[in-house]
Copies of this chain bind each other. A is one copy, B any other.
Amino acid sequence: MSYKGFATASAIAFALALSVGTGAAQTAVKDDFKPSSLNQPGQEYPQVNSQGYARFRVMAPDAKSVAVTLGLGGSGGTVLTKGADGAWTGTTTGPLDEGFHYYHLKMDGGVFNDPGTQNYYGSVRWESGIEIPAHDQDFYALKNVPHGNVQQILFNSPSTNTQRRAFVYTPPGYDKDQSTRYPVLYLQHGWGEDETAWSVQGHENLIMDNLIAEGKAKPFIIVNVYGMTNDVKFGKAFSFDMKPFQTVLVNELIPYVDANFRTLADQPHRAMAGLSMGGMETKAIAPANLNVFSRIALLSGGTFGPEDVTPDFKAKVKLVFVSFGSREIPDGKTGFPGAPKIDPKANIEALKKLGINAYFYVSPNTAHEFLSWRRSLHELAPVLFKD
């Protein structure tokens, strides 16, 4: 199976180019910088101020050049300058978008991580990360509420002849009430990321814990597994062969999860969703396996239109959810350069008219980044298994 759908790798690359920070440069930078919440223990830098500016400091007295790949859109990053103490410092020329950003150092012609902060798997490498506090960060804050667990599982995969890793979020109370069974969402990361993304930078567990504590979502299980299509070079995305991944997911992982967790092991209670490339995978795999999945969500990873609504689709799909960051669709349209543009909101409205239970969401003032996807999960979870 080769994926020929709309939400292609090129579209994703285009969205990535639109990515971090589009605010205009400001003259008055407030002097209230604090260490980023993602810093390593005891590390003072990088820092963030109340306006969303980021400030970096890297000790390397003998370096010839140090830059950070994070800055305003199109600027190519932030060049650091060396002080008398041998530390290289620099501040972004304007505020960054709220939320989580990957970055790294370009130093002396090589690529390194900022020793001040923790690492997150993105761009097929462990990257540095920084968090610009979002005005709505409370929905993924670590609070004194009942917590679910994130379980690392290892399952046998005959098709790849490996023992493979996945993460399973089990909701609060899962271990105590042995009579309850739960629906399951299979939730995929994006290109360059892996199965750690949703529980680490995505905060899927905290988003669910908080929604459940507030009575806004019914508990369900979430499963994250590596979407092996990362192994294909990005430029060849048009010919992504999703069959090996589909085999692992549908024939190996799902049976393992259903055998080892208290799932509601049927199509009405099983969903698939993904961000970016994970959305491409979802659109390729879920509609082709409507005996397995009934609920489908694409997060910055394409859309569904009337052309997708076959009789089988109409009979078996119980929910469609499509979302974007607002900066990905500045004119309300999505599409890769040179191809016809599509209005995803109009598409979802058309689906509703065809009788599909469909939702559309746009994350305000965010790009192709994790705050868009945290918010998308927060919007999706309350409705995912409702009808």
A residues sitting closer than 8 Å to B (CB atoms) are: 40-42, 58-65, 86, 107-113, 115, 118-119, 124-126, 142-144, 147, 149-156, 163, 168, 175-176, 178, 199, 205, 209, 230, 260-262
Contacts and interface: CB of A to CB of B under 8 A. Distances in A.
Nearest to A209: B154
Nearest to A142: B163
B154 A110 contact: no
Contacts of A152: 149-152, 199, 205
Contacts of A150: 151-152
B60 A107 contact: yes
A58 B153 contact: no
A203 B26 CA distance: 50
Contact of A62 (B64, B111, B175, B209): B64
Contacts of A59: 109-111
Instruction: With a 10 A CB-CB cut-off, give which of A63, A125, A154 has the most chain B CB atoms.
Output: A154
B149 A108 contact: no
Nearest to A105: B112
B163 A60 contact: no
Contacts of A109: 59-63, 86
A144 B109 CA distance: 43
A124 B118 CA distance: 12
Contacts of A163: 142-144, 147
B143 A153 contact: no
